[in-house]
């Protein structure tokens, strides 16, 4: 064990929460180090958010060329789609951003320690490198940003070939001809879009009553129609009973809403049912850090655990497992450590996006949730079929749905499905945070023709004076 190194802050985990927290801490004058057992940028930059968006772009082009060539005036005698080239491009995109994180660590004079970390006391961290040598680091504050890992159905083993998680799925260069996707959340729906774009036979199985079950019910219904139109099979309200590997691939036994059992056969199965926290083997129990029943680290609005000097951010806290939420938590955590001015987060109002085709984006309460809370709900809607930019793009499935309180005009949430709706979220989340009403959004002049006009039109509708519908 080498000589102790002293820091004001050590961040464990270099994902979008951890590395952002380290940068903000360094900016505030704190001597900072970051530890990761595998890679800078974490899952998001290396095998998650970033490379998947590159694959989705390739899949969008592939689908257009395969299925919509005549519509756009393209014709081919022998169209060849090389999926391995798409994966190579996704790796290049990922590597470029990861190098950028490395540069940011140097720029902000943040020490990087690669290895597996374990708490050895309230202010002590032991880091064991690949060479099995251990260094002991001392810090006034330790921030845990260790993320989460893919969950599986009990008794189902992810073998990385026939039964895969997002990790194997995003790295494989050869596509099977058919797949059963177990879980219709963001990851399941995004991989469904990629693989369907390249012509795979895709079946999606979701235990809850609808795909994207945490989204507004109308959005889930619209996405189901869009997926079915593209040839995907969606099986909601369906439980997976077993997954067995065979010489040819996998057999997945399921039970539908009526209890009738059915056997699905495919070359591969993707397990996309959610995540569990990376909270084991960190020494949390010995340090007295409180965990929830599901193993997530409990924190307050400052990102502090119950042990002074130990903090936690990102997926390992179980608050909202999204990269941008982890980054926001990281900044707030660093500012609280430094005693700087900061804010608190309203997790209900955090933006959410699923980059399937069509895209889904939302924040706040659904219509049903708002009514359950007793609000007098007023809804503003606008379909992309009536938006000139969407028609010009040839991408006009979906709508904007704005949920407001009829009494005060308060924005309670928004739910969108359609072209690039993830890019439309910030106007609405900013309006909600600044306590603007649909009236201000409607009066804000939007450039024409743009997709953002759909927000203005939905706001007009919420105010009771629709213009273009």
248 CB burial (10 A radius; 0-12, 13-18, 19+): exposed
- How far is residue 427's CA from residue 285's CA, in Å, rounded to a whole number? 43
Catalytic residue of the set 113, 448, 460, 465? 448
Q: Tell me the HSE value of 442 on the side-chain side, using a 13 A CA sphere.
A: 21
* 448 given a catalytic annotation: yes
Query: Which residues in 210-245 are b (16+ Cβ under 10 Å) and which e?
Result: bbbbebbebbbebbbebbeeeebebbbebebeebeb
Three-state secondary-structure class, residue 246: coil
Cβ within 8 Å of residue 124, ≥6 positions away:
136, 137, 138
Residue 363: name the closest of 426, 294, 455 by CA.
Answer: 426
User: Which residue reads 């590597």 in tokens?
Assistant: 95
Looking only at the bridges linking them, the beta strands covering 275-277 and 148-150 are: antiparallel
91 close to 54: Cβ distance less than 8 angstroms = no
- How far is residue 109's CA from residue 115's CA, in Å, rounded to a whole number? 19
Active site residues: 448
């Amino acid at each position: 064990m080498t000589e102790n190194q002293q820091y004001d802050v050590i961040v464990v985990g270099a994902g979008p929460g951890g590395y952002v927290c380290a940068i903000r801490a360094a900016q505030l004058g704190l001597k900072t180090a970051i530890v990761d057992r595998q890679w800078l940028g974490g899952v998001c930059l290396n095998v998650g958010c970033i490379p998947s968006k590159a694959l989705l772009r390739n899949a969008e082009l592939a689908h257009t060329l395969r299925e919509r060539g005549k519509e756009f005036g393209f014709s081919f005698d022998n169209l060849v789609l090389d999926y391995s080239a798409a994966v190579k491009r996704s790796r290049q995109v990922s590597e470029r951003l990861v190098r950028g994180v490395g540069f940011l660590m140097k720029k902000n004079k943040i020490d990087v320690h690669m290895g597996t970390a374990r708490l050895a006391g309230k202010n002590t961290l032991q880091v064991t490198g690949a060479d099995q040598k251990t260094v002991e680091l001392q810090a006034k504050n330790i921030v845990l940003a260790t993320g989460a890992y893919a969950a599986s159905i009990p008794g189902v083993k992810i073998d990385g070939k026939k039964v895969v998680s997002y990790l194997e799925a995003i790295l494989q260069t050869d596509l099977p001809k058919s797949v059963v996707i177990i879980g219709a959340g963001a990851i399941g729906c995004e991989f469904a879009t990629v693989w369907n774009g390249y012509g795979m036979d895709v079946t999606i199985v979701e235990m809850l009553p609808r795909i994207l079950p945490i989204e507004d019910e109308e959005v889930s219904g619209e996405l189901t129609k869009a997926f079915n139109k593209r040839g995907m099979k969606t099986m909601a309200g369906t439980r997976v009973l077993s997954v067995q590997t065979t010489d040819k691939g996998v057999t997945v036994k399921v039970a539908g809403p009526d209890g009738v059992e059915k056997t699905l056969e495919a070359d591969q199965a993707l397990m996309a049912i959610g995540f569990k926290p990376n909270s084991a083997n960190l020494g949390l129990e010995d340090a007295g850090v409180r965990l929830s029943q599901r193993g997530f680290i409990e924190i307050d609005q400052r990102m502090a655990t119950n042990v002074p000097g130990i903090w936690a951010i990102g997926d390992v806290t179980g608050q909202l497992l999204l990269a941008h939420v982890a980054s926001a938590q990281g900044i707030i955590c660093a500012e609280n450590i430094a005693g700087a001015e900061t804010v608190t987060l309203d997790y209900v109002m955090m933006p959410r996006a699923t980059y399937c085709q069509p895209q889904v984006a939302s924040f706040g309460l659904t219509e049903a949730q708002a009514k359950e809370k007793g609000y007098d709900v007023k809804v503003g809607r606008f379909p992309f079929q009536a938006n000139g930019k969407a028609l010009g793009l040839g991408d006009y499935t979906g709508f904007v749905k704005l949920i407001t309180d009829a009494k005060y005009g308060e924005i309670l949430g928004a739910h969108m499905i359609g072209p690039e709706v993830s890019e439309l979220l910030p106007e609405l989340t900013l309006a909600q945070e600044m306590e603007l009403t649909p009236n201000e959004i409607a009066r804000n002049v939007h450039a024409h023709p743009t997709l953002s006009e759909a927000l203005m039109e939905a706001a007009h509708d919420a105010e009771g004076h629709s213009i273009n519908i």
